[in-house]
């Protein structure tokens, strides 16, 4: 709370009157000073009561043009407030915009004059500069009358909604009619990773060196890379393995979701026929086959967060792995039987692995994946995962891709050693790419 200039002048007058009353010994002057001080105290109490009532009565309705957007894009925000108007107070509310954004157009401030209508509305544009999830900071409320002013922050959850999800900005792309590019350079197929070239663009630091087109680079005197499609048609199948809440550091998880969100946004901009599977461990969360609606995909991305996995130990042995274990157990059993005679341990081990071969394979996840892959019907699948802990559910996805001769690429966050560590745990057909 702060006094206004009028209150300060009155306070100065009170002090002067008190000094004069003391010097002159005039009780009347002293009484006048006391009455003025009492008046300021009453006005203070009235102001505090009125301002508190205004803050408690506040309601807010905020809407944005896009909940999901690219880094650097502009989002239109419309904010409307309703508040109990006091006859003596002028109210100014400022919308606290998300961190990582700047006001590009309009105003984020709403004003209500004393005794005026208790509703106000404003529309402004925000330029989103930082990737990630961003919530509003609420409202800053400033109340002022003739004698006092005060500022309060309104930060209830409903005042901080909605959350805006910002994905990385797309990479710059060379136009197809770039001078000097031959028709063959922009349309030819590439045998690299079995993908086809969509267009050529300038090289950036995060690009795979293997995708540099050296002929085009020499022609233009700068590094040029091939932008590759995921399949030979316009169908794209993306599988997202949500990380377990108990695994992964914050930076790794953030990089993971940024990569997934950026990839989905790229496919939406290219208007590809996108199929999206969201799962975590043995739990199927959502499957959207062949959708081109941005709204459906954006709704699905609301599931993109760390989850508490229901099946912490999915651990399913596929036929190939079970057979390998069984053959190794049989060899051990034969060796021990020759050297030491029959042993209970080796015999039991052999019978256990035999049971995996003879008995029915778990059907809940595998049967569902079979149906999903039948509906997706793509030539390649891109799986995004942190690959922490048990990855038998990832091997189940790989098996479905193998059976249909689909190319399987697994995108994981991490350092250079991730590929060497992960590849021995996956089927030979799987390719690992570090995000």
Model confidence pLDDT, tens digit, residues 340-378: 766 666 666 666 666 555 554 555 777 788 888 888 888
pLDDT for residue 394 is more than 80: yes
pLDDT for residue 233 is more than 60: no
The arithmetic mean of pLDDT across residues 103-126, rounded, is 84
Confidence of residue 124 (pLDDT cuts 50, 70, 90): very high
| 180 torsion bin: left (phi>0), alpha (psi -120 to 50), beta (else) | left
pLDDT for residue 222 is more than 80: no
- 119, with CB counted inside 10 A (0-12, 13-18, 19+), is middle
Nearest to 237 by CA among 291, 298, 283, 160: 291
Return the minimum-mean-pLDDT range out of 122-131, 154-163, 253-262, 314-323.
314-323
Q: Are 270 and 233 in contact (CB under 8 A)?
A: no
Q: How far is it, in rounded angstroms, from Cα 392 to Cα 314?
A: 7
Give the DSSP letter of residue 126: E
Q: What per-residue confidence (pLDDT) applies to 258? A: 81
Q: Which two tokens stand for residue 319?
A: 């036929």
pLDDT for residue 130 is more than 60: yes
Nearest to 355 by CA among 329, 380, 326: 326
Q: How far is it, in rounded angstroms, from Cα 237 to Cα 289?
A: 9
Confidence of residue 265 (pLDDT cuts 50, 70, 90): confident
Q: How far is it, in rounded angstroms, from Cα 49 to Cα 44?
A: 9
Q: How far is it, in rounded angstroms, from Cα 404 to Cα 71?
A: 37
For the chain, report the end-to-end CA distance as a whole number of angstroms.
51
Q: How far is it, in rounded angstroms, from Cα 99 to Cα 372?
A: 39
Neighbours of 14 (CB within 10 A): 18
Q: What is the pTM of this model?
A: 0.46
Q: How far is it, in rounded angstroms, from Cα 394 to Cα 381?
A: 12
Q: What per-residue confidence (pLDDT) applies to 405? A: 84
Q: What per-residue confidence (pLDDT) applies to 12? A: 87
Calculate the average pLDDT of the chain: 77
- The sheet carrying 132-134 orders its strands as 68-70, 164-167, 132-134
The arithmetic mean of pLDDT across residues 409-426, rounded, is 78
Residue 192 or 202, more confident? 202
Q: How far is it, in rounded angstroms, from Cα 124 to Cα 78?
A: 7
Q: Are 392 and 362 in contact (CB under 8 A)?
A: no
Residue 124 bridge partners (DSSP): 77, 106
User: What angle in degrees, to the nearest 10, is found between the helix axes of 344-358 and 319-340?
Assistant: 160
Q: What per-residue confidence (pLDDT) applies to 193? A: 37
pLDDT for residue 125 is more than 90: yes
pLDDT for residue 231 is more than 50: no
């Amino acid at each position: 709370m702060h006094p206004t200039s009028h209150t300060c002048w009155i306070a100065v007058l009170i002090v002067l009157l008190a000094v004069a009353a003391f010097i002159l010994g005039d009780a009347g002057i002293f009484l006048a000073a006391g009455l003025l001080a009492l008046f300021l105290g009453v006005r203070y109490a009235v102001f505090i009561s009125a301002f508190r009532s205004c803050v408690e009565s506040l309601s807010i309705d905020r809407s944005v043009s896009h909940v999901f957007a690219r880094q650097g894009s502009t989002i239109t925000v419309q904010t409307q407030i309703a508040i109990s108007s006091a006859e003596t107070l002028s109210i100014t509310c400022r919308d606290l915009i998300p961190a990582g954004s700047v006001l590009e157009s309009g105003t984020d401030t709403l004003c209500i004059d004393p005794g005026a209508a208790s509703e106000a509305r404003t529309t402004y544009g925000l330029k989103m500069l930082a990737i990630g999830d961003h919530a509003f900071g609420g409202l800053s409320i400033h109340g002022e009358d003739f004698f006092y002013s005060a500022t309060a922050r309104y930060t209830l959850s409903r005042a901080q909604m909605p959350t805006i999800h910002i994905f990385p900005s797309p990479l710059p792309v060379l136009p197809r009619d770039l001078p000097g590019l031959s028709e063959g350079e922009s349309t030819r197929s590439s045998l690299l990773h079995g993908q086809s070239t969509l267009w050529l663009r300038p090289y950036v630091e995060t690009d795979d060196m293997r995708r540099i087109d050296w002929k085009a680079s020499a022609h233009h005197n700068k590094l040029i890379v091939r932008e590759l499609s995921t399949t030979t048609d316009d169908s794209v199948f993306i599988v997202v393995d949500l990380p377990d809440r108990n695994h992964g550091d914050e930076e790794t998880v953030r990089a993971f979701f940024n990569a997934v969100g950026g990839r989905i946004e790229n496919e939406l901009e290219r208007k590809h026929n996108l199929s999206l599977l969201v799962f975590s461990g043995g739990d199927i969360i959502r499957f959207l086959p062949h959708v081109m609606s941005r709204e459906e995909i954006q709704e699905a991305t609301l599931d993109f967060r760390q989850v508490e996995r229901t099946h912490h130990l999915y651990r399913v042995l596929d036929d190939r792995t079970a057979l390998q274990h069984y053959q190794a157990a049989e060899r051990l059993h034969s060796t021990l039987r020759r050297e030491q005679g029959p042993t209970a341990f080796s015999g039991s081990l052999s019978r256990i692995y035999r049971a995996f071969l003879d008995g029915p394979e778990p059907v809940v996840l595998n049967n569902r994946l079979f149906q999903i892959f039948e509906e997706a019907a793509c030539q390649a699948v891109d799986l995004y995962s942190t690959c922490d802990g048990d990855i038998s559910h990832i091997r189940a996805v790989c098996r479905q891709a193998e059976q249909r001769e689909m190319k399987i690429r697994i995108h994981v966050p991490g350092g250079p050693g991730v590929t060497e560590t992960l590849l021995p745990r996956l089927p030979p057909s799987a390719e690992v790419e570090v995000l």
